[in-house]
Amino acid sequence: MLYPLRTIFLSACLMAAVLGLSCQPAAAGKFVVPSPAFGSNGANASSWLAGAHAGYNWQRGSVVFGFETDLQGTHLNSSMNGGLTNPNIPLGPFDFANTKASIDYYGTARGRLGFTTGQWMFFGTAGAAYGNVDLSSRYGTLGLQTLSQTSEPRIGWVGGAGFEYMLKPNVMLTFNYQYVDLGRVGISSSTTGLTIPFLTTIGQTATVRAQFQAAMVGLSWRFAPDGSPSPWAGGYIGGQAGGAWGNHADALYSSSSQFVGFPSDIRVKRDIALVARRSDGLGLYRYKYVWSENVYVGVMAQEVALLRPDAVIRDALTGYMAVNYTRLGLQPIILQ
């Protein structure tokens, strides 16, 4: 014979009355269980840079035109940690997010057009730019984690301006400003897992706008004989150093959960006491969860696994079990 569910419910409520507690059916929202963290973040970078350049000028009167190529090493690293939030519970050790976008070198090949006045030359410049953009992102919550990364060689454009001052007939002091655009790089990833009592999906998207500005001071040596009628003409090489800033990165960390069963594993419960037993041998117990002071009446997943394995859901990652109460024709009770 099966004990009527209503009798069991009334017995639990009678116990609650004796204990001075209130009694009501427990909805999924009544359980204070770990929930997935989510959020967003963004960062910019600034860095030193240093490199070398070479070029060639032609001069017609006060007009100077030519081409120049350069190569710089730098460390434009837009790095962000955190940015997660959880409105239900404090963030834990399994809640983390880290996104990093970096450029470690870039080069350009540009045309230059300028004019001279005395020992000064003012110029504008534009052309092609190239470099390598690295982007990686890692996000985890509730024991689930997802990782994505890429490293892409990029070709873009550069524009800028500057001036040179002729210290000596063959030595020039240079100031150069550049705006570099290597385009956008994006990554995304997701994973799904059972985080009792939910089926949880977490995902992330990260994007870096590989656009940055650079300001440099350099020295150039011109390969031309002294006394040349075109003091800015000829080939030259040199070095430069300065700073760069930009390389903005954004990341979005999202999560969603679908309720699949009440957490019923004996390993997440404490203060367990038998309340009643059904005629099929399934016991109803009074207990608390290890993370809560609320008192509940329900079943033990290990016992249900022996008698009704079809009603048990097992987390493949942790081995913890949840119970689908609907399959048992029951509803857990919360005592307050």
Count other C-beta atoms under 10 Å from residue 107's C-beta.
17
- Residue listed under structure tokens 């001052």: 165
Residue 312 is which amino acid? Answer: V
Compute the average pLDDT of residues 7-24: 39
Q: What span, in angstroms and rounded, lies between the C-alpha atoms of 78 and 245?
A: 10
270 contacts 290 by C-beta, under 8 angstroms: yes
For the stretch 28-33, contacts whose Cβ atoms lie closer than 8 Å and that sit 24 or more positions apart, written own/partner, are: 28/197, 28/259, 28/262, 30/294, 30/334, 31/197, 31/262, 31/263, 31/289, 31/292, 32/88, 32/89, 32/289, 32/291, 32/292, 32/294, 33/197, 33/198, 33/263, 33/289, 33/291
Share of the chain above pLDDT 70, in %: 87
DSSP 77-115: EEEEE--EE-SSS---TT-EEEEEEEEEEEEEEEEEEEE
Q: What span, in angstroms and rounded, lies between the C-alpha atoms of 302 and 329?
A: 18
Tens digits of residue pLDDT in 94-123: 899 999 999 999 999 999 999 999 999 999
Residue 156 token pair: 């873009």
Residue 10 three-state SS: helix
| Maximum C-alpha span of the chain | 116
What's the mean per-residue pLDDT of the chain?
86
Residue 33 three-state SS: coil
Tens digits of residue pLDDT in 179-193: 999 999 999 999 988
- Residue listed under structure tokens 């957490």: 263
pTM of the entire structure? 0.73
Predicted confidence at residue 15, as pLDDT, reads: 39
Q: What span, in angstroms and rounded, lies between the C-alpha atoms of 192 and 256?
A: 9
Predicted confidence at residue 322, as pLDDT, reads: 85
Q: What span, in angstroms and rounded, lies between the C-alpha atoms of 40 and 251?
A: 6
Predicted confidence at residue 227, as pLDDT, reads: 65
* 1 against 195, higher pLDDT: 195
